[in-house]
Amino acid sequence: MQITLYSALLAAGLVLLPAGASRAAEGVDLKHVDWSFDGPFGKFDRAQLKRGFQVYREVCAACHSIKFVSYRNLSDAGGPEFTEAAVKTIAAESNVTDGPDADGEMFERPAEPKDRVVKPFPNDNAARAANNGAMPPDLSLMTKARKDGPNYLYSVLTGYDEAPADVVMADGMSFNHYFPGQQIAMPQPMSDEQVTYEDGTPATLDQMARDVTAFLTWTAEPKLEDRHRLGFKVMIFLTIFAGLLYATYKRVWRDQH
């Protein structure tokens, strides 16, 4: 997949537009998905996280890193929960630079579970050169980069359309209902059947957008389920504590009379 200005989509919500192309999308309501991880008892769907990682790897990883994720994290509880054997296989598909060796030379070796997920480019200059001067952002925290991040990301990924007749499109721009300004420099990055899901799920555009959004929500909040469990325990504690305080208050004031 060739993604020229993907940073415009997911980083700060900004895109280079010519003067006059200022039609805003702030008034457009985002699509809202009933995410499994929403709410105080929300949990990630493990199968969805696995599919989302596949979309990231086959569609997004050509340009974008997830630099805060190590391969071994893919087997962590609360995440995709790949087996250790599967993680070793996934890691070994990429090479990392290591060293120096006994001769003081750097060398390449297959990645291991302990390594961070390999970046698509060796350095920022190489990334910009391959993307018409744009620096593709790291996606590790992308769902935290915008308000209501998961719904925003899903909406933009599924929000491409033909431009209305009254909208003058700048050269090289695509119309998107949910992107600020409604003109985005990145062509539609996903299409039906772009990947073949290993679990047999139909790879529609909508499904791929949901899955990769869920995966990127996990990379941004890998301890989300732990946080939800802790919050529930705290609420139980506070409820019991409040009850004890109330009972003590009643007892003290009853004795005063």
User: 110-153, pLDDT tens digit by residue?
Assistant: 999 999 999 999 999 999 898 877 788 899 999 998 899 999 99
Question: What percent of the chain shows pLDDT beyond 90?
Answer: 63
Residue 12 has pLDDT above 60, yes or no: no
On the question of pLDDT at 22 being above 50, the answer is no
Whole-number Cα distances in Å, 2 to 11, 130, 158, 189, 202: 18, 9, 18, 8, 23
Hey, CA dihedral for 21, 22, 23, 25, is it positive or negative? positive
Under the banding of pLDDT at 50, 70 and 90, the label for residue 50 is very high
Single pTM value for the model:
0.80
pLDDT of 231: 61
Q: Is the peptide bond before 100 cis (omega within 30 degrees of 0)?
A: yes
**Class of 6-69+119-222 per CATH?**
mainly alpha
**pLDDT tens for each residue of 212-241:** 999 999 999 999 887 766 665 666 767 887
> How large a percentage of the chain has pLDDT more than 70?
84
What are the residue ranges of helices labelled H in the chain?
Answer: 6-10, 46-55, 84-92, 124-130, 149-157, 205-220, 224-256
pLDDT for res 226: 73
Mean pLDDT of 19-26: 42
The larger pLDDT score, comparing residue 187 to residue 141, is at 141
pLDDT at 4: 40
| Gap between the Cα atoms of 202 and 169, Å rounded | 33
The answer, yes or no, to whether residue 245 has pLDDT greater than 50, is: yes
Residue 94 confidence (pLDDT): 96
